[in-house]
Structure 1
Amino acid sequence: MVGMFERGDGDLGIANLFISDLGGRNQHQQYTAPFGQEIMCFMIKKGTSTPRWQSLALPFGRDVWIAVMLMALLLGPIFFALSRPRVTRDEKLSRQSMAFIYLYTFGVHLKVAQTQLPVSLSLQIFVAFLWVYVIIVLEAYSAKLVSFLTVERIPEDINTIEELYHASIPIYGNTRWYYDSFALAKNEYIKKLTERYSILREFEDSYKHLMTGQAAYIASANNLMYTISLYAKNGNPTLRLLKECFQPYNTALGVQSHSPLKRNMDQAVNWVREAGLPYQWRRETLMIVRQEKRTTTNDSTDDPESEGEKRVSFSLEHLEGVFIMYGVGCGLSLFVFTCELPFTRVP
């Protein structure tokens, strides 16, 4: 397009042109008034879903689970130590074994009503704060559990440009302009990406590499959002954007240098921009693509009008983690039972 302006073969270039002098572009053409803003982003393959059986552990992060486990281990000895000095007939808990105390605190964690309540003031204070702790922890876990059981979770391994660089995967684009942008960047990781950048004019060629999970593609953010919608399967995206982008630009149309059309085009572009039409057209384009995908695949799961009417029934896939945990418990109890048999005496 820039070459056509230089040769006088074109009068107006309608494209998402970045306003930049990179590569001496502004020596061969001029820009109209900007109609929007763009930013360059990277696109990679969307990861596979986290197995459903892991959903039970997802409501809490690793640090929270470690804290909960430590609390569960410490509660037994603390409870036992507080009950020992007050061995009385009224304080039944003081005469119980450590194993009973652990089962008692475990039952509290499951919000099971306990028939044996503490009598001494110190144990009453301890158990009262234990109840408050358990209620808050369990309510937080329960509130998050439903969403993790029903919503598909995709782990995101690459999100920043630094992580992309360390992944050592090739970067593809459809023009040398991105290579020049890498070379002029101040970010050392972006600059080093020039070593792995390759030009593929047809996106289908890049898509084949992307779907192997061992490549990334660079373009403007809106271009990539359109591409993600276009290549979705059954309403589910197969590609995703990295969270970190770089180098924002104003976007405009292109005209010849010293073109008499520029003045009128600037006025027209300003009217379009002030009316918010570029944003509206972009939104409508994405909706059209999604609608066409639903029509061709007979899929209506992402229809915004029916979003509020959708209901999720728990299937075995959603609750497989519970059955696995129960099976592990049954297997462990059976193993302990077989170990206890040689030491069991029949009266």
Structure 2
Amino acid sequence: MVGMLGRGVGDIGVANFYITALEGRREFTDYSTPFGQEESCFLLRKEAPSPRWQSLALPFTGDTWLGILVVVSLMGPIFYCLASFSTTRKESLAEHSLVFTSLYTIGVTLRVSRPFLPNHPSLQVFLVFLWLYVIIVTVAYCANLTAFLTVERVPEGITSLQELYNSPLLVYGQGPFFGDNMAEAKNQYVKGLADRFFAMSNIEEIYKKLISGYGVYISSRNHLVYTGSSYASSVGVPTLRIIPECFQPFNVAIGLQSHSPLKRYFDTAVLWLTEGGFLHHWFDETLLQARIYRMSEKETEEEDKNIKGNAKEKEFSGIQKNIALTVEHIQGTFMILGIGCGISYLAFIIECSAVTLLRK
């Protein structure tokens, strides 16, 4: 387009024209009054949601889980020592082993009523405060767990130019313009990304690369917002996202021939449109139309089945407000049960083997 304006083939160039002298553009083209500001950003595939089974551990932080593990480990021995050294009154729990008292306190931690109650006052006070601790911790865990089971968590992923530079992703763009911009950038990470830049003319091929996770697409922010909203699921859930950190802000204008007599007319018209807020209004309308078009394009039988089976998308589209927990939501509990059964079976085999060896 710049070449056509420079050769006199075209009179007006309407696009996201960055006002720049890169590659001698000022010698071949002129620009109208700027109608907006843009910056160069990167678009990439949205990260896959975290596995649902991780939801069981998410209500508490790692430090909290470590504290709970320490408490569970110490309560059994402390309870056993208090029961063993009770002299003022006979303590029935003192007749049992350390393993029994450890299981006793673990049962209390799981809010299970115990068949044996201590007789000694010190043990009774200890047990009261242990129950108070257990009630607070378990209620907090259960209340927080519901939110983590129903809300889909997405990893943060790449958020900065440095992280993008350290990743193996390639950079794709339409034409060489953005590759040349990156090569001349002062930011060392952007300059390093220029070595991984590939110019492609077919936008559909670029998006195939993005969806496959091979690379990122560099363009102006508004262009990426528009195309990113177009490439969404049938209910508007984004499949692509823009990396928050961008670079090289530019003014954007309409391209004209050098010394064009049309410039003063376009300057006046662009100023009217900008001050009236029409550009922002039209851009918002364009985004809405793009979403409607993409949704109508994807209304297939397969998408309908996905909508029925995906509670997250139902909530997003407003079809269903209350979410019923599926097997996917609570898959972690089934995993715990399976692991427990496996450990129990292993302990059973070891026990049988030990008995057999003793008999021999």
With structure 2 as the length reference, what TM-score do the two structures score? Answer: 0.78
Which residue does the alignment assign to 1:206? Answer: 206
Q: Contact (CA 8 Å) 1:43, 1:217: kept in 2 or not? A: yes
Which residue does the alignment assign to 2:152? Answer: 152
Which residue does the alignment assign to 2:310? Answer: none
Distance 1:100 1:132 in 2: 21
Asked whether 1:193 is paired with 2:190, we answer no
Q: How many residues align?
A: 344
Asked whether 1:56 is paired with 2:56, we answer yes
Asked whether 1:163 is paired with 2:163, we answer yes
Q: Contact (CA 8 Å) 1:83, 1:123: kept in 2 or not? A: no
Matches within 5 A, 1:1-347: 1-80=1-80, 85-89=85-89, 97-112=97-112, 116=117, 120=121, 124=125, 128=129, 134=134, 137-235=137-235, 236-298=237-299, 307=318, 309-340=320-351
Cα shift readout 1:194-252 (whole Å, capped 9, x = no counterpart):
21111001112223333332222211222222222323344444433323322233323
Distance 2:40 2:72 in 1: 49
| 1:249 partner letter | F
| 1:315 partner letter | T
Q: CA deviation at 1:21?
A: 2.9
Q: Contact (CA 8 Å) 1:32, 1:253: kept in 2 or not? A: yes
Gaps of 5+ in 1: none
| 2:246 partner letter | C
Q: Contact (CA 8 Å) 1:47, 1:154: kept in 2 or not? A: yes
Q: CA deviation at 1:171?
A: 1.2
Distance 2:230 2:259 in 1: 38
Q: Contact (CA 8 Å) 2:49, 2:153: kept in 1 or not? A: yes
Q: Give the CA RMSD over aligned residues.
A: 3.6
| Larger RCO of the pair (alpha carbons < 8 Å, separation 6+) | 1
Q: Contact (CA 8 Å) 1:172, 1:216: kept in 2 or not? A: yes
Q: Contact (CA 8 Å) 1:231, 1:237: kept in 2 or not? A: yes
Once the two structures are overlaid, the 10-residue window that deviates more, 305-314 or 15-24, is 305-314
Distance 2:137 2:222 in 1: 41
Once the two structures are overlaid, the 10-residue window that deviates more, 5-14 or 311-320, is 5-14
Q: CA deviation at 1:324?
A: 1.9
Q: Contact (CA 8 Å) 2:39, 2:220: kept in 1 or not? A: yes
Q: Contact (CA 8 Å) 1:88, 1:94: kept in 2 or not? A: no
Gaps of 5+ in 2: 308-312
Once the two structures are overlaid, the 10-residue window that deviates more, 157-166 or 303-312, is 303-312
Distance of aligned partners of 1:25 and 1:336 in 2 relative to their CA distance in 1, 3 Å threshold:
same
Once the two structures are overlaid, the 10-residue window that deviates more, 56-65 or 211-220, is 56-65
Cα shift readout 1:45-102 (whole Å, capped 9, x = no counterpart):
3333433333323444545434443343344445555665555438766776433443
